[in-house]
Amino acid sequence: MLLFPFSPDLDRFPAAGAPERLHLGFERWAETARESTDPDLRAFMEDLAADSKGQALLAALFGHSPFLTQAALREPQAVRQFAEQGPDVAWEAFWAALKKEIAQSSEQNEAMRLLRVAKRRASLLIAMADLAGLWDLAGVTRALSDFAELAVDSSLGLLLHQAQTAGDIE
């Protein structure tokens, strides 16, 4: 497997703001890898933690944000797609899958779950692209705005559908 077919700027990665979190983050990453039932994902996670660019990326996540640490641990597939295909391909794949899932969701609890998971994945992908210096401010802002618009539109659409079904509106 080819890690980072693009060139993240290692100098761009910020030094850990909370170095004490790094060790714990890497321990939890290794634990998550060991517990994975997918041998390919497990191998990727181990390879990423052994790669200098991978270490820099993970350190930037683990050393700055508990939210991004949790996101990386819960969404290692998103980290993998980013590391193997780059931010643009990873974002487009995420975006296409999200639109499809939302279009198929008509139940409120399921839609809410989809949006929570999507928020975590979007945050992780956007942060990695930003931290690696691969998206400029306009690209980061565009992705955040696009996601916010989709979340609001889909939430309102679901609420309107429910109101129509209940006979509250025509």
167: which DSSP letter?
T
- Round to whole Å and give the CA distance between 3 and 129: 15
pLDDT tens per residue, range 51-86: 988 999 999 999 989 999 999 999 999 999 999 999
pLDDT tens per residue, range 90-118: 999 999 999 899 888 878 888 889 999 99
pLDDT of residue 1: 60
The full DSSP string for 108-156 is HHHHHHHHHHHHHHHHHHHHHHHHTT-S-HHHHHHHHHHHHHHHHHHHH
The full DSSP string for 54-65 is HHHHHHHHHTT-
pLDDT tens per residue, range 109-168: 888 899 999 999 999 999 999 998 899 999 999 999 999 999 898 888 888 888 888 888
pTM tops 0.75? yes
- Round to whole Å and give the CA distance between 60 and 54: 10
Which residue bears the tokens 């996670």? 45
